[in-house]
Amino acid sequence: MGGGLVLNGKLYRGTNCVAGEIGHMLVKKDGAVCGCGKRGCFETIASRTAITNKIINDVKNGKESSLAKMIEAGERIKSNSLAKAVKDDDELVTGHIMDACDVIGGVLASVTNLLNLDKIVLGGGLVEALGYFMVPQIEEALNMHVLDESLMGLEIMETKLGDDAAIYGGIKLVEEFLGESV
């Protein structure tokens, strides 16, 4: 999970150019180990990888899911497979995605309370495949935890960059470094 922080129309990078690493915010003190080596990072709980790992674990422990055959075959579970499972009323998948949405909404509420944001843009393959389902859930969780004053004027929207968002971000950084459009 990545993030970017735009302040006054410019990407804010921070002192060491690592600002916006929302995926590494602490969400669960003694949580799972993250790829960064720390425990309990946001992305260990609410990323597509975290969601699919929970589903795989549950299926291997006997829970039912429409994704069971994919899991047994060792196939990678992609965003579109999760979206189909939600449309097919797969309770296990839907439950894990709703849990992730609650965590995402809570983290975004904390960030909004801290920075008084005017816009949050959600993206990536999972949001692109399930935005119709996820965004209302995320908004509901955010609304439960954000200060009323911080909520005024806040717009939550989806990007359509899908899994290519990081590529576009990289291009933008190169453009800024070179001082020209690539």
pLDDT digits (tens, 9 = 90+) for 30-83: 999 999 999 999 999 999 999 999 999 999 999 999 999 999 999 999 999 999
**Domain assignment of residue 24, yes or no:** no
Confidence band, pLDDT 50/70/90 cuts, at residue 162: low
154-158 long-range Cβ contacts below 8 angstroms, 24+ apart: 154/112, 154/117, 154/118, 154/119, 154/120, 155/118, 155/119, 155/120, 156/119, 156/120, 156/122, 157/119, 157/120, 157/121, 157/122, 158/121, 158/122, 158/123, 158/127, 158/128, 158/131
**Residue 59 structural domain:** 47-178
**Domain assignment of residue 107, yes or no:** yes
Residues above pLDDT 70, as percent of the chain: 90
Report the alpha-carbon distance of residue 151 to residue 142 in Å, rounded: 9
**Domain assignment of residue 5, yes or no:** no
Weakest mean pLDDT among 16-25, 36-45, 92-101: 16-25
For the domain that residue 157 is a member of, what is the CATH number? 3.30.420.40
pLDDT at 182 over 60: no
- What pLDDT is attached to residue 160? 72
**Domain assignment of residue 54, yes or no:** yes
Instruction: Count the domains in the chain.
Output: 1
Mean residue pLDDT of the chain comes to 89
- What pLDDT is attached to residue 177? 65
Q: What is the mean pLDDT of residues 136-160?
A: 92
pTM of the model: 0.86
**Domain assignment of residue 115, yes or no:** yes
- 3-state secondary structure string across 25-90: CECCCCCCECCCCCECECHHHHCHHHHHHHHHHHHHCCCCCCCHHHHHCCCCCCHHHHHHHHHCCC
Among the listed residues 133, 36, 143, the one whose alpha carbon sits nearest the alpha carbon of residue 83: 133
Q: What is the mean pLDDT of residues 89-111?
A: 97
- What pLDDT is attached to residue 8? 81
**Domain assignment of residue 3, yes or no:** no
**Domain assignment of residue 128, yes or no:** yes
pLDDT at 159 over 60: yes
Higher pLDDT pick, 4 / 88:
88
